[in-house]
Amino acid sequence: MIAMAIVLACTFACKSKSVEDKLAELNEWTENLMAEYSARLLELGEDEDAVEAYQDSVIEVFQDYNLKALKENLDNQVGVEALKNLYGLMETEDLEEYIEKLEAPVTGQDSAFVYGIKESLKAIKCTAEGMMFTDFEVDGVKFSDFVGQGKYMLVDFWASWCGPCRGEMPNLRAVYNEFHGDKFDMLSVAVWDKPEDTVKAAEEEGIVWNQIINAQKVPTDIYGIQGIPHIILFGPDGTILKRNLRGDEIREAVAEALSE
């Protein structure tokens, strides 16, 4: 059905369609894909390999469809909505390219969204790999209580409701169990979440390393984090070594850093 969704995708450049019709088509296509996605996940059950492969295929279809909509509607609201869908999935360079090309007149929430992306891009540049960490404080706990204290620090920005965040927990636990010691430690920073939900999920996931609870938007604004999980490796002095680590990349980055 996913392949069929591509074939049946509307031609966004079609001159005969109004912006309203194109926008409705985009929203309907997204709703149908999500319904199909949810139903298929139930069918796959606990087959992790099949689930992962299916999720990857859905993301690819979702990105392709919305990128087409964005490219062909840089001068209207459809482009804005497509960019909203792609936000968090795009590489920083691509996001920067399209936000500059977008000429759609935006007001209200859309204006705030576009402004927020531009601010996020500025934050990403200020906290890019090779830059020194930026401190923040939550409920009397400082980020600098953990980062820049002489150890390599792996920091996981996450939330209890985030499926991919919890999907990375086995990788994080494995890295902690293998490398935790005098030279390496870990920190989980809960963002965009209810503190009570964070505490419950942390217990369920067996998080025994350092935690900052209830950080909300504070660190994500500072570090330009567009989606979670977002995992960053900091050097002993607080230098940002690697950003946006996932899966096997987490262990590889830590092992490489500790071997130097």
User: Do 100 and 18 belong to one domain?
Assistant: yes
Query: How many separate domains does the chain show?
Result: 2
Query: How big is the chain by its Cα radius of gyration, in Å?
Result: 20
* The two three-digit tokens of residue 202, written as one number: 């942390």
pLDDT the model gives residue 239: 98
Do 178 and 92 share a structural domain? Answer: no
Looking at the fold, whether 177 and 66 belong to one and the same domain comes out as no
Beta strand segments in the chain, E = 137-138, 141-142, 152-158, 184-190, 210-212, 230-234, 240-242
Residues 96 and 164 in one domain: no
Residue 210 lies in a domain: yes
User: Do the Cβ atoms of 63 and 86 come closer than 8 Å?
Assistant: yes
Q: Is 84 part of any domain?
A: yes
In a domain, 13, yes or no: yes
Within a domain: 131: no
Q: Is residue 132 part of a domain?
A: no
Residue 88 lies in a domain: yes
Alpha-carbon gap, residue 222 to 139, rounded angstroms: 17
The 3 state secondary structure assigned to 90-133 is CCHHHHHHHHHHCCCCCCHHHHHHHHHHHHHHHHHHHCCCCCEC
Which is it for strands 184-190 and 152-158: parallel, antiparallel or unpaired? parallel
Spatial CB neighbours of 120, under 8 Å, sequence gap ≥ 6: 221, 224, 225, 226
pLDDT given at position 1? 44
- Can you tell me which residue has the tokens 């795009």? 90
Structure confidence at residue 108 (pLDDT): 61
Determine the residue type at 168: E
Assess whether 58 and 111 both reside in one domain. Answer: yes
249: which 2 tokens? 């990349």
**What is the dihedral angle through the alpha carbons of 141, 145, 146, 152, rounded to the nearest 10 degrees?**
160
Looking at the fold, whether 212 and 236 belong to one and the same domain comes out as yes
What is the Cα 201 distance to its own chain's centre? Answer: 19
Q: What is the CATH number of the domain that holds 186?
A: 3.40.30.10
Q: Are residues 116 and 142 in the same domain?
A: no
Domain presence at residue 86: yes
Query: Do 96 and 189 fall into the same domain?
Result: no
- Average pLDDT, 10 consecutive residues per value, the chain (260 residues): 46 71 95 93 88 90 96 90 88 86 68 82 93 97 98 98 94 98 98 98 97 97 92 98 96 96
Which domain does 35 fall in, by range? 2-126
Asked if residue 60 belongs to a domain, the reply is yes
pLDDT score recorded for residue 6:
46
Q: How far apart are CA 94 and CA 146, in angstroms?
A: 33
Asked whether residue 100 falls in the same domain as residue 157, the answer is no
Q: What is the pLDDT of residue 100?
A: 84
Domain shared by 237 and 144, yes or no: yes
Same domain for 57 and 7: yes
Instruction: Say what the pLDDT of residue 107 is.
Output: 60
Produce one character per residue of 129-146: b if its CB has 16 or more CB atoms within 10 Å, e if not: eeeebbebebeebebeeb
Of 77, 95, 126, which one is at a domain's C-terminal end?
126
∠ CA(149), CA(150), CA(153), 5° rounding?
Answer: 75
Q: Select from 100, 126, 152 the last residue of a domain.
A: 126
**Taking the mean position of all CA atoms in its chain, how far away is CA 29?**
22
Q: Kindly report, residue by residue over 172-197, the tens digit of the pLDDT.
A: 999 999 999 999 999 999 999 999 99
Q: Of the residues 80, 96, 126, which one is the last residue of a structural domain? A: 126
* pLDDT for the residue 7: 42
pLDDT value for 193 = 97
Q: Which of 142, 134, 233, 231 is nearest to 183 (CA)?
A: 233
pLDDT at 101: 86
Looking at the structure, do residues 79 and 189 belong to the same domain, yes or no? Answer: no
Closest CA to 81 of 55, 109, 100, 61: 109
